[in-house]
A and B are shown apart, each in its own frame.
Chain A
Amino acid sequence: MNPNKTRIKTDETVIIYSILLSLSLLGIILFAPNNNLLGFIIKEGVSVADEFQYVPPEDLSMNNAIQALIGSEKERELLEAFNLTTYEINDSLLMAKRYFIGNDLDGIKAAINKTNNSQFDRYLNSLYSFGKTVPAYDIQPKNYSQVFRITQFIKYTRQYAFKVYDAIILADEKEKAYKKEGIDTTEAVHLISEADVSFNSERYSDAEQLLAEADKKLEDSKKEFYRVEYLVFLSKNFIMRYWLEILVILVIVIVSAPTITKKIRIYRAKRKLQTLQIEMGIVNNLIKNAQEECFKFRKIPESLYEVRVAKYKQRLSEIKHTIPVLIGIIEDTKQKKDNGAGGKK
């Protein structure tokens, strides 16, 4: 083969190897599981807002909007009572107030004069004061629909937050209980603390996912723990539990071993005998052929004939030595069998 061609071929192979290696390395980096078992390509980043669904109320009146805003204030107070952060809810509530007021502070004033409800009166007054402080660039168009959407979202967020809050407490308790049993909970602890951080940053959806991961880790660790325990139990108790079966198997093996060995020996001897007999015939034929080629057809010189025949004869003598031994093995066993049978008769 042309050395240049070989070199080109090798170079091409090296290039393909490098491409394949780079491709697989890239694939591993992209898809390899990181701490929370998620790759970088396909992420499960779902926020609370993505899961929230707005249901428009039948009554879109001003009174109902005030009621919704007061409800949201209570939701916020509830979260604060549990020392939970409410930055996002505060922002949302401010936005809802802006949509409620719009650019119509006079309308709020009129509503205050009209209302008989003391709670509404207080809240509308606070809204009026708030409205006066809203800078012009932050004023939103008056839109009760937006007010209802935001207040529903605040309620949904509060419910979600409490759900995750409960889940963190439960995961924490579960982890402690598993740890007490001796199960390795290191990874779960890490995930729970990450979930706690996410929760405190109001990333409730992330926290929920991390808790699910932590729960899976705990279950995996538990499964692994019991499996290893069971394997240790099996290995420790195997001989004690199955001593009778082991004893019976050992006796059977010891009793049957000589018979099986003999049978295998005879079988192998017979096979070898057959092969050697065939080989003997072939070698004899080869000697005849060599004689014909040398003396009849004069194709090969006598010196070559002698070398060949010497080799063939050497092999023949080996075969002739081995055949009686093999026959001996076969007949000896047969004789013993016959003698055994005769003796019994």
Chain B
Amino acid sequence: MIAIESFRKYKVKDIIAIFILVGIWALFSSVGEKYLNGEYAYLFSLLLVSIMVSFGTLLIRKAGAAIFIYLLGGILGYAIPELGVIGLEKIYVLLIAGIIFELAFLILRIELKDIQINIALGSALSAASIPLSTSILLSWKVTLSMLTSAINLVLASFFVGLMGAVISFTLWSKLRNKKFILKFEYGL
């Protein structure tokens, strides 16, 4: 069942929160890109984006938050190749990832012992979609010729996404009762 309650109007504070999360992502990705090798930089950046998107969704709890974060990240990191793609193609890839996350978030309303399965699954699936859509956009012929590598990369990304979601849940459980989060959520 679709989570109708998630379709709410965005406030300025939501946009500010998104900007802060994307800023953290961009900052740490650039550092990772500088100091880590190709594949490790990719995995690190993917982990970061998964944490930020899951945390952002937990914080804002509105439909479209993930798409906003992914898109803004794509625009700010237009020329950073940390996810293996740059330019307009990066924006398309991240938009697809955002849509996949939103679909999982809105359609699967499953909660298990305080763990929101929809966010975990959304994060994992959207992370897995990144290498897939990147390779298809760049060259599907090359992808087909290296199908095994592509499958491995997709699976690795899936687990990175899942890990990112779990880390964000842990962060959220530590921070959810803090003053600034309560202030943000309820405007106290």
Binding site for B on A (CB under 8 A): 9, 12-13, 16-17, 20-21, 23-28, 30-34, 37-39, 41-44, 187, 212, 216, 219, 223-224, 227-228, 231
Contact = CB atoms under 8 A, between A and B. Distances in A.
User: Secondary structure of the A side of the interface?
Assistant: helix
Interface in B150-173: 151-153, 155-156, 158-160, 162-163, 166-167, 169-170, 173
Interface residues of B, number: 33
B115 interface: yes
A97 B148 CA distance: 40
Given A31-B155, A42-B152, 4 more contacts: A20-B162, A28-B163, A31-B153, A219-B142
A44 B163 contact: no
A12 B155 CA distance: 27
Given A224-B81, A231-B79, A32 B39 contact: yes
B160 A20 contact: no
A33 B39 contact: yes
B43 interface: yes
B41 to A, nearest CB: 12
A21 B161 CA distance: 11
Given A27-B156, A31-B155, A231-B87, A13 B79 contact: no
- Name the residue among B39, B146, B152, B162 with the largest chain A CB count within 10 angstroms: B152
Contact of A16 (B81, B113, B138): B113
Nearest to B164: A24
B120 interface: yes
A216 B155 contact: no
A33 B146 CA distance: 13
26 contacts: A13-B115, A13-B173, A16-B115, A17-B169, A20-B120, A21-B166, A23-B159, A26-B159, A27-B155, A28-B160, A30-B155, A31-B152, A31-B153, A31-B155, A32-B43, A32-B152, A32-B156, A33-B149, A33-B153, A33-B156, A38-B152, A41-B152, A216-B146, A224-B86, A228-B79, A231-B79
B115 A24 contact: no
Interface string B81-95: 100001100000000
Contact of B86 (A37, A41, A219, A227): A227
Contacts, number: 95
Interface of B: 38-39, 43, 79, 81, 86-87, 112-115, 120, 138, 142, 145-146, 148-149, 151-153, 155-156, 158-160, 162-163, 166-167, 169-170, 173
A227 B87 contact: yes
Contacts of A228: 79, 86
A34 B159 CA distance: 16
B149 A28 contact: no
A216 B148 contact: no
Contacts of B114: 9, 13
Given A31-B152, A31-B155, A37-B146, A16 B170 contact: no
A39 B38 contact: no
B160 A24 contact: yes
A43 B147 CA distance: 11
A39 B150 CA distance: 10
Contact of A33 (B152, B163, B169, B170): B152
B68 to A, nearest CB: 24
Contacts of B113: 9, 12-13, 16
B32 to A, nearest CB: 15
